[in-house]
Amino acid sequence: MSVHDETPTARSFRLRLEHPVDHLPGQHYVVRLTAEDGYSASRSYSVASAPDGSGVVELTVELLPDGEVSPFLHDVVEPGDVLEVRGPLGRWFTWDLATPALLVGGGSGVVPLMAMVRAARAAGRPELVRLVVSVRTPDDLYYAAEMAGREVTVAHTRVAPEGDPRPAGRLTTDDLGPVAAGTTVYLCGSGGFVEHASTLLLEAGVDAADIRVERFGPS
């Protein structure tokens, strides 16, 4: 296992699976911690890496000070440690690497969407996906070094970087752009973000049946 920071409050863990199973972009793993007294806690974390047959998966974990699992992963786990994981899990929020997809993420909701972007790039088909990610400030942007290209739009809601032509503010229909027929929308983020983005998508004429949603909460 190797570890690196994405933001001041988010860390990515690259895990080599004991029994490799390729995942689909959008799936997740359950991480289980067990204390010496037998008490255990489990949380689900989306896979950020593209499936590549290597037996290595990347999970990105946001630090939640009151959580049961994320503080241990951030403050205690070190490279080389062994974690108990189960997966990959989930079928509804997965992309087939063949059909057009609009990916809309808020904050840490970008994690499963990044697996889709990376998979499209690895397959030489970046034009199949378009990523729109909403973050509060530049320091809150996950995978910042990879957020370039015509297929990526970053919307800063509180503080925009110097020189950004888009002023800071909430996500708008202009940020989402036109959504072509046959496109599946993958929407991931907090409850409030999902509600706001869903409203924008419906106002833009996207059929509700073409929107797949994954909400996250404290862990």
> 37 CB contacts (<8 Å, ≥6 apart)?
none
Burial (CB count <10 Å: 0-12, 13-18, 19+), residue 82: exposed
At residue 197, φ and ψ (nearest 5 deg) are -65, -35
User: CA 187, CA 27: separation in Å to the nearest integer?
Assistant: 14
Bond prior to 65 in cis (omega within 30° of 0): no
Nearest of 149, 152, 142, 196 to residue 170 by alpha carbon: 196
Q: Per residue in 105-131, pLDDT tens?
A: 999 999 999 999 999 999 999 999 999
Q: How many Å apart are CA 20 and CA 216, to the nearest integer? A: 26
Q: Which amino acid is at 41?
A: A
Rounded average pLDDT over 180-190 = 96
| Confidence band of 219 (pLDDT split at 50, 70, 90) | very low
pLDDT in tens, 33-59: 998 899 999 999 999 999 999 999 999
What pTM, to 2 d.p., does this model score? 0.95
What is the pLDDT at residue 149?
Answer: 86
Distance (Å) of CA 29 to CA 37, 162, 218: 24, 37, 16
CATH numbers and ranges of domains, the chain: 2-89 (2.40.30.10), 101-215 (3.40.50.80)
